Structure 1
Amino acid sequence: MSFPIQLIIVFLAFISNEHKAIAQFVPPYSSVVAPVHKHTDAAKPLFSVQVMTTYVNLQYLHANFLIDLDAPFIWHDCILEWNSFPGSCPNNTLCTYPVSCEEYQCTDVRTTYSYQNPSCPPVNNDSTIPDWGYCTCPVNVVNPITGLCGQALLNYDEFTVNTSNGKNVFTGLYGAYPNAACAPSSSFESFPANVSGVMALSSSPYALPAYLYDPLKRIIALCLPSTLSAPGVLLYGNGPYNLLPRSDVDVRSFLSYTPLIKHPGSFGYYINVTSIVIKTRSVDIPKDTITKLSTTEPYTTLRADIYNAVVRRFLKVTLRIPPAKPVAPFSLCYSTSTNGTETSIKVPDIDFSLQDGTKWSISTTNSIKKITKDVACLAFVDGGASSEPAIVIGTFQFEDNFVVFDLENSTFGFSSSLLRKQTSCSNFNFTLTDSP
């Protein structure tokens, strides 16, 4: 065999082995991770996720974004620059590159993946960046706190998060490059302090999950904290998921699953609640009722007919608890004071019976809201006679529950209260460690 042929064979063997090595490479992380904070300084309790937005002076800047399961795309406080260069961006400002009105993303977002709100006016291409003359891409956005419509400019963005194996947070980073939108700072005046954006976690192809690729699985794990003092956690990717003090236990072992249901005209997440059971007695739910999962509504809202039936049943099983004057927005409240001494109350679980026979148990900590030292209320709200969807499960019912939106299998996983498992959403270990 001639030397050139031998050389070719050796070279092909080297290439083959290198491809095998690449194919066999398994990254040390199974997910990406970010802390979740609770806020009570706005019109209603809200939750934000913290991500890294830009690299300045050898360090990443961090920003907090409201978690929104419905939003079609991310939008936040930033400004656009056609030609960024060192020093061109004002101090304490995030600058990004604009999407032109002539690019396909502009038409796609406007026509198919935009906010559907009758209060939003039509958008046009008149907007330009000063001194450049190129058209930008205005898009409508809806404030999740006020419900008011505004405008933002579509951009090319960059977000960075830490990687994780579900138990540890690694120093290794993961970058995502979504088409987000820049809104003026005034758009966030109603937001909690230090929150300057909306993080879309919906099924839209312009929400954050659409920009997180292999090896990450399309699975959102969310654990909302009940306290302001310690964060909860957002993980995207496959498990395991571990919480202290039982770091050897995979939280997935606590989960039950039910199918996610698509709802026309929405990018949010829905499930099928077939009945609401309180101490073995069932409140039947009309057959075509759908249930929405929300991270922007603070309390579970029920259509009036369902709400009234739940309240009647709840009154019967809590007859021994002294009533108290209702406190808006709640209509059923209890006294938590006996002869001037504060006492705790315990009520029966409220079970959401779901498709395929699973049940999501709402325990006292997620059904009774402490208002003052003397008053606590049933944390369910009357949505009115024409409320649509008929059931919206809000964040108070999510607190210290580990939930999973499995977009791979179109299922929703839920743990019920982690407090019964001697842990909580504030028990994820965020201590940074090097990748193995």
Structure 2
Amino acid sequence: MAPSAKHFMFLSFFSLIISFSIAQTSFRPKALVLPITKDVSSSTPQYITQIKQRTPLVPINLTLDLGGGYFWVNCEDYVSSTSKPALCASSQCSLFGSHGCSDEKICGRSPSNTVTGVSTYGDIGSDIVSVQSTDGNNPTRIVSVHNFLFICVSNVLQKGLAKSVQGMAGLGRTKVSFPSQFSSAFSFKNKFAICLGSSPSTNGVLFFGDGPYNLNNDESKALIFTPLITNPVSTAPSSFLGEKSSEYFIGVKSIKVSDKNVKLNTTLLSIDKNGFGGTKISTINPYTIMESSIYKAVANAFVKELRVPTVTPVAPFETCFASKDISFSRMGPSVPSIDLVLQNDVVWNIIGANAMVSLDNDVICLGFVDAGSDFAKADQVGFVAGGSKPITSITIGAHQLENNLLQFDLATSRLGFRSLFLEHDNCDNFNFTSSV
């Protein structure tokens, strides 16, 4: 069971949903910024950010879940003088949609550890959260949000996360995700941008609000846009009947290898009335996962165009080559291009650095995983809903996102994207040295 009401201070008479305060100033930020680190200590790489929460403030490490609906924290050792439970039938509870109600009259939900697929019940509460604001070039002032909503869970849900992590930060399409709460608190545009670094020794960056997103340059000006699609059926490990998916789907119409169309069962690229099919984007699954027939068609076309002999595969990958047979350039391994042709005829070009994964034993592999393969084990590729018959036909994984700037505009329901290799830039170039 999740912690009971004793873990929270008594809720005051006034039920505030979200408010912001910055001590002794009327400063209102236009955007916020958080660093992202790549953690490779667990069986699957995870992308970690840090906020400060509670009174007194405590640094909290969180695994980023791009499509996650909620912010949840392990409350086994939660101590704060400003935490408050969300009482049943309150406006705070209504923001979570369907929910339960405990004997203590505290509402709750069942958040998921999307790395493992495990879900458990937790009480909904609120507390102070403190983050860094930005002008797009540097961090600026520290700002705080009072009554920031989260779900308080037991340590059962934390298992499978990186050692330093105490919870998960959901960035998905709900009213209580990080982007929605921050935009509501500070009245800036409901959009965010994420840029994953490729190395544990460097920082990626997460922006809430509008650009500029100044790495070496303002990369927001180079973005290409495509519509975001809503899956009418939840794809979370735990959900209520009738809930929509909080994950981010895009419309892939076809796939090309070396500018040649790959023959696919194109019905798999659309989302049906039961929520099956389509293409989503994930920071939890480390590599792109494809339904078996799609994977085999893409991999066969890739091998045919590369014209290099394959070697014994190395799990979780099935299509591998000797590193000595592959040349390299500034864009990574020189291999055939893999292009996702999207809904409005724009192209997401997956270059060599994102298409291939170099292994320690002089082997380099196509960084895509066949969902139906024996190699597609949960401890290597993350939780896959549906297993060998995935609910989602294509999940674009984190390796394919690294050093790409992605902007999710929730107000207009569109995705902006751009490989920073094409801009002679990378995700670790944001200056995290404060300008104030």
Q: Do Structure 1 and Structure 2 share a fold, with TM-score over 0.5?
A: yes
Is 1:393 the counterpart of 2:365 in the alignment? no
Q: Corresponding residue for 1:155?
A: 125
Is 1:251 the counterpart of 2:251 in the alignment? no
Contact 1:43 1:145 in 2 (8 A): no
Map 1:95-174 onto structure 2 (within 5 A): 96-106=83-93, 109=96, 111=98, 125-126=102-103, 134-174=104-144
- SS, match of residue 173 in structure 2: coil
Distance (Å, rounded) in 2 between the aligned partners of 1:125 and 1:295: 32
Query: Closer, same or farther in 2 for the Cα pair 1:110/1:204, shift >3 Å?
Result: closer
Q: Corresponding residue for 2:429?
A: 427
Highest Rg: 1 or 2? Answer: 1
* Deviations 1:303-325 (CA, angstroms, capped at 9, x unpaired): 11111110110010111x34221
Query: Closer, same or farther in 2 for the Cα pair 1:153/1:431, shift >3 Å?
Result: same
Give, in angstroms, the shift of residue 110 of structure 1: 6.0
Distance (Å, rounded) in 2 between the aligned partners of 1:345 and 1:330: 17
Distance (Å, rounded) in 2 between the aligned partners of 1:413 and 1:104: 33
Distance (Å, rounded) in 2 between the aligned partners of 1:100 and 1:80: 22
Map 1:13-412 onto structure 2 (within 5 A): 29-56=29-56, 60-78=57-75, 89=79, 96-106=83-93, 109=96, 111=98, 125-126=102-103, 134-175=104-145, 177-212=147-182, 213=184, 214-243=186-215, 246=216, 249-264=217-232, 265-285=244-264, 286-287=266-267, 288-289=269-270, 290-319=278-307, 321-337=308-324, 345-384=333-372, 386-412=389-415
Query: Closer, same or farther in 2 for the Cα pair 1:141/1:29, shift >3 Å?
Result: closer
Q: How many residues align?
A: 371
Contact 1:78 1:94 in 2 (8 A): no
* Deviations 1:345-380 (CA, angstroms, capped at 9, x unpaired): 421221111111111111111010012241111010
2:223 partner amino acid:
L
Please report the TM-score for the alignment, with normalisation by the length of structure 1: 0.79
Contact 2:112 2:120 in 1 (8 A): yes
- SS, match of residue 120 in structure 2: strand
2:210 partner amino acid:
N
Computed over aligned residues only, the root mean square deviation of the Cα atoms, in angstroms, reads: 2.6
Return 211-220 or 233-242, whichever deviates more. 211-220
Contact 1:299 1:396 in 2 (8 A): yes
- Aligned identity (percent) is 31
Deviation beyond 4 Å, 4+ runs, structure 1: 26-29, 342-345
1:216 partner amino acid:
F
1:223 partner amino acid:
C
Q: Which structure 2 residue ranges, 5 or more long, are not aligned?
A: 1-25, 233-243, 271-277, 373-387
- SS, match of residue 178 in structure 1: strand
- SS, match of residue 170 in structure 1: strand
Distance (Å, rounded) in 2 between the aligned partners of 1:176 and 1:309: 51
* Deviations 1:86-140 (CA, angstroms, capped at 9, x unpaired): xxx4xxx7972212235354466362xx6xxxxxxxx5523xxxxxxx4333421
1:196 partner amino acid:
Q
- SS, match of residue 356 in structure 1: coil
2:400 partner amino acid:
Q
Give, in angstroms, the shift of residue 241 of structure 1: 0.9
Give, in angstroms, the shift of residue 276 of structure 1: 1.0
2:173 partner amino acid:
S
Contact 2:68 2:171 in 1 (8 A): yes
- SS, match of residue 231 in structure 2: coil
Q: Which structure 1 residue ranges, 5 or more long, are not aligned?
A: 1-25, 82-88, 115-122, 127-133
- SS, match of residue 157 in structure 2: helix
Contact 1:110 1:139 in 2 (8 A): no
1:218 partner amino acid:
N
Contact 2:194 2:207 in 1 (8 A): yes
